[in-house]
Amino acid sequence: MKRLVIATRRSRLALWQAQHIAERLQSAHAALRVELLPMSTRGDELIDRRLDQAGGKGLFVKELENAMADGRADLAVHSMKDVPAELPPGFMLAAIGEREDPRDALVSSRYKTLAEMPNGATIGTSSLRRQAQIVERHPRLEVRLLRGNVDTRLAKLDRGEYHAIVLAAAGLTRLGLHARITARLEAEEMLPAPGQGALGIECLAARAEVVALLAPLADAATAACVRAERTVSRVLGGSCTLPLAAFAEIAENRAGNRVRLRALVASSDGKRVIRGELEGEVADPEALGHQVAQDLRRQGADAILGL
């Protein structure tokens, strides 16, 4: 192939991500020309509701998948945390790139930590996962809906509509906005979403020539961790309607590389939170994800999630 077209959302972060992949592809394949096809998705347009109320994560990827299906694009680049746990028939994740910082970030011009924020202070987020974990530890704070792209969310904070907001550290870093990060929230305080910080490249499973071109961009360690995380989500329902978090990391030990996986499910009011943690073989991350999901179920996850 001499030319590849990448379908991408129009947001500044999505365009950065697509351009990053384009440059890596051109570096790996000198004769290849890569073009971007910017598109608007329903997820970008519906900014007055939480995603769980508007239709879920698929709102960010459906139009991109349509472009691949009808031949306008060869692949799409996604933030892995925005990709539904189940892909439509005929599509595959051909590569998952090396992970950026997976943590959430607190952004505020007034307060340095969640703990120092006063009673009734407002925090903006659109994520049920973030909302549940904030309210569990800091019930005195008020969590309010915050939708829109990164720049829109920062502008709302700067206008004084919120005392603080929580965003993915990876997105801020990729946009050169790391100076806006007040504090990076460790996994013990805010467990990330499945796939957070990683970029996934989707294409049609039948496009073997595209899959081959994408192979040099894959990072095996990141892929193993993300596969474990996404398995938890898939087993428990696989939707952003679930206040669910999962984070895996490679744990070095004498027996060789293993994966440590932590996960939680919660009620949106933060009053019921259950957690699970296990280590497993790096060669079979899905088995580890399934084990952790079943452990959460034994603790009552289905009742919390209404499954």
Active site residues: 82
Name residue, tokens 């984070």.
247
Q: Distance between CA atoms of 160 and 176, rounded to whole angstroms? A: 22
Residue 126 φ then ψ, to 5°:
-105, 0
In eight-state DSSP terms, residue 161 is S
Q: Distance between CA atoms of 23 and 3, rounded to whole angstroms? A: 13
Here the tokens at position 121 are: 């202070």
Residues 6+ apart with CB under 8 A from 13: 79, 149, 150, 171, 174, 175
Q: Distance between CA atoms of 307 and 303, rounded to whole angstroms? A: 7
* Helix, strand, or coil (residue 256): strand
